Structure 1
């Protein structure tokens, strides 16, 4: 699952109407292209439009969905469209194409129109739109007051303290009831009747509908997906193997695990490298020293810096035992650190700007009458939750879109209780990820979600494809680890080539690599694929910290457990 910062509202307006239609599976629908609203999309070369599609492709009589779409025109001789999904689930394709048009055109050779859309449940222009289960942030906060939903899970020492275990398990019946009630609130919300029509299978069929309009119903479909977008991709290539054109999947969700296990049960396997990525951060900090990292003192090694983070967590933990309303809980700090695991390009800013502020807040060194700005910034940092992140102008409560899509796609409930979920978290904290095993909230409550999508693809995932696809993965990805990419490549056999990048972070685009860009370019422009198992390096001139690059950090990561 990838973390992105999103605009709070997406509005499309039309200044001109260029119509482009072709035969489709839905009554000759067409897209009216027009100018995008400049308050949202600042690149005037981009075009925006809508397409109506069936809510339920097996039962069109239930009504239509409307997709908000964006397009960047090819800069060279056009060979068709390339569809892009940035992840999430819940990522806005419109904002991502606006922000990353040049990179997308560059790595694909400029010979495709780059097309993306806000999938069902995303934003306020696609319909069904963003999923809100509470009417306001105040209602949400009151509902979850005094629970781990707001504070995170409090534990130290990798959940070895029996008191921490007892305290968490004591909340199990309360949290199960809460999440069961949330599910019912979502069903009663204005978008509740649409919950069964969102999900990955719908996203795949919607993409095919857009492709049918733009390129024709027989044309190969070209696609690039990152993070959750790889689940859309793995479902697409197996649901429509005859339509597969050139497909890149970067940062792979394991489709077998997703099709056979509840999301809470895949937690451990997704975190296998997350602590190693954390060790990369503290290693880089130690290598650059105090001149480049405020968390380092002269002569510090990685374990010395880890000790400072552990002390910060312990101090925050102790403070919450005295006053449950402290500005930063240990759960908040872990969530902040987790956000940093995705992109190493932000590590220097984090350790030099945000980490010292967190230390000040936890130590009570910020006077009450002057701390508002610092505390707000830290709160914004720690509350950038990947599962409930967006609000709208009319509703400031958290969005449940990501959870709704995860749970709509999940296997049927299997009798899992919240105590079972908590036992899994305790085990993961002890045995898999000491730093991030106790992160909360995550979509562990799919066992209590009342809806599943009208269509879920659960395999097989080894169909014979019309064209070979390219799979990419970082060596150390905190959330979509390399074994998931290896699994998908193994399932597809001769129809997939796996390329690894010797880096850390979420997806290969988390760090620059001319090698990876050249592979993407060659594949997209002339179909050339490298040898299976090819390894790319991150560019040597990309400094994570002053004077420290990715290769330096990889060479010095300690093998000692943290």
Structure 2
């Protein structure tokens, strides 16, 4: 894997080496990771076009210690990407797009224009592939299998491939019994996966890909690019808000202008068993986003949403989707080789809920295709079953997300797979009937994951910050409910301003809002934050979720119902 990384076309002589090898104290790191730093200039150069399609972006490497508390372990390397300031440069804004496991290098290809606009053009916008992510950072993506065939064969015939079959809100005794009967098999599989991950060539890195180390990397990058001890400016989305929360509390004196958007409550993240209750708490608004989806479809009608019929209400459209799920469920029960299962449809629907800009395309293509395939199944035209991951991945897929989330999570509590399944059933009963049973999901690996990170930050999360931060959440977010943003803002008190985008999807980037962009720009350029307990922004009226249907129309028409 490393030989592949070294063959990429990043410039090699470029790194600002973080010299943690000379004794003394590294400014901003703390006495427990004492070292001296002599910062050199990062050598930016052209990016490999495979990585950065935007030729205006520049790339670099940056060396960091694998373990800030034990330098003898060795040196790691981050891949960096930069969009240059368009006006007189004031410094750097670092951006993490979330995941964890999302490539910051890839993400900046599509978000650089937005971020340069939101920062007024006064800052270089720098993103990076954090440790455990991507093809150019070392350690990069975490693999546990050497081929797609090996990976598929390992999980063949299990819910890892087929998804969980259930209907309604998971109260059917047959569905419950069927799931619980698979607990022993899946625990054996996940225990075996943990062993494979440990024994794989990437296994030696598992304990070094945690968020606390990445927070230290962020401080080190700021030292190199803006000067030792400089204020750190940062925009973090989704998981990037965990990184942001850990950073501002680990290094409160280094806080410059920091925006966290789509917020996970960090106090919960590290203190609960994430496989049992942590993920369920993130789903409290997921079914409301689904309501927005089928409401918008009904408003658009068949011309804008082909799964709707003329004159259908939102409830009617939902009933049709539920009928599709029921048919897929029943056929999969009767025909184990059915190519599409209700579990697969739910899993894909969950990801689609993140991005309302994709809803129209999804119903016109994938969901319509699913309906045709389920109809063919019911008529006896059975073909080979394919997993959702197999649809999207031609090669073995990494476990980077699992490695970071599970490495950061609470110490193993002894939970077993039956506990995990019972938690899913309870979450489906009480929080999200549509998406609680989506499988696989990264948090469910954590009770069986082989290691925890060598360093984890467990709080407090109410440090006195050098500068106040901006906290943003959506009214209805399928993965990071607004309650997370409010919890962080409440913890920080006068050191945070809270903004709510009155819309759907995951983070405020899910739907365009000039109001949000103006608030971020005023903060980044002038340090101005909105006053009051909570500021509410609307989605731009000219943005159509479905043809002829904007967000405000959906909000006004959403039925009060349980889905």
Report the CA distance between 1:365 and its aligned residue.
7.8
In structure 2, the CA distance between the partners of 1:292 and 1:87, relative to structure 1 (3 Å rule), is same
Report the CA distance between 1:23 and its aligned residue.
8.7
Contact 1:76 / 1:110 at 8 angstroms: preserved in 2? yes
Report matched runs for 1:54-453 at 5 Å: 54-264=65-275, 265-364=277-376, 382-383=388-389, 396-442=395-441, 443-453=443-453
Query: Counterparts of 1:454 and 1:320 in 2: how far apart (Å)?
Result: 43
Query: Counterparts of 2:74 and 2:364 in 1: how far apart (Å)?
Result: 53
1:106-149 per-position Cα deviation (integer Å, ceiling 9, x unaligned) = 11101011111101111121001111101111111111111111
Give the corresponding residue for 1:482: 482
Instruction: Give yes or no for the alignment of 1:35 onto 2:46.
Output: yes
Secondary structure in 2 matching 1:399: coil
Report the CA distance between 1:81 and its aligned residue.
0.4
Report the CA distance between 1:346 and its aligned residue.
0.9
Report the CA distance between 1:42 and its aligned residue.
2.1
Instruction: Give yes or no for the alignment of 1:513 onto 2:513.
Output: yes
Query: Counterparts of 1:446 and 1:263 in 2: how far apart (Å)?
Result: 8
Report the CA distance between 1:322 and its aligned residue.
2.1
Query: Counterparts of 1:10 and 1:87 in 2: how far apart (Å)?
Result: 25
Contact 1:23 / 1:216 at 8 angstroms: preserved in 2? no
Secondary structure in 2 matching 1:291: helix
1:181-237 per-position Cα deviation (integer Å, ceiling 9, x unaligned) = 111110100010110001111111111111111111121000000000000000000
Give the corresponding residue for 1:47: 58
Instruction: Give yes or no for the alignment of 1:557 onto 2:558.
Output: yes
1:281-326 per-position Cα deviation (integer Å, ceiling 9, x unaligned) = 1101111111111111111011111111111111111111222121
Secondary structure in 2 matching 1:324: coil
Contact 1:13 / 1:34 at 8 angstroms: preserved in 2? no
Query: Counterparts of 2:114 and 2:200 in 1: how far apart (Å)?
Result: 39
Query: Counterparts of 2:548 and 2:140 in 1: how far apart (Å)?
Result: 46
Please report the TM-score for the alignment, with normalisation by the length of structure 1. Answer: 0.92
Query: Counterparts of 1:9 and 1:330 in 2: how far apart (Å)?
Result: 39
Contact 1:10 / 1:123 at 8 angstroms: preserved in 2? no
Report the CA distance between 1:445 and its aligned residue.
2.1
Contact 1:11 / 1:40 at 8 angstroms: preserved in 2? no
Secondary structure in 1 matching 2:376: coil
Secondary structure in 2 matching 1:283: helix
Query: Counterparts of 1:299 and 1:43 in 2: how far apart (Å)?
Result: 45
Contact 2:207 / 2:453 at 8 angstroms: preserved in 1? yes
Query: Counterparts of 1:550 and 1:43 in 2: how far apart (Å)?
Result: 31
Contact 1:22 / 1:214 at 8 angstroms: preserved in 2? no
Give the corresponding residue for 1:4: none
Contact 2:14 / 2:60 at 8 angstroms: preserved in 1? no
Report the CA distance between 1:21 and its aligned residue.
8.3
Query: Counterparts of 1:473 and 1:406 in 2: how far apart (Å)?
Result: 21
In structure 2, the CA distance between the partners of 1:22 and 1:310, relative to structure 1 (3 Å rule), is closer
Query: Counterparts of 1:21 and 1:422 in 2: how far apart (Å)?
Result: 46
Give the corresponding residue for 1:5: none
Unmatched segments (≥5 aa) in structure 2? 21-25, 27-35
Query: Counterparts of 1:191 and 1:342 in 2: how far apart (Å)?
Result: 30
In terms of mean alpha carbon deviation, does 339-348 or 231-240 score higher? Answer: 339-348
In structure 2, the CA distance between the partners of 1:334 and 1:70, relative to structure 1 (3 Å rule), is same
Q: CA RMSD in A?
A: 2.4
Give the corresponding residue for 1:3: none
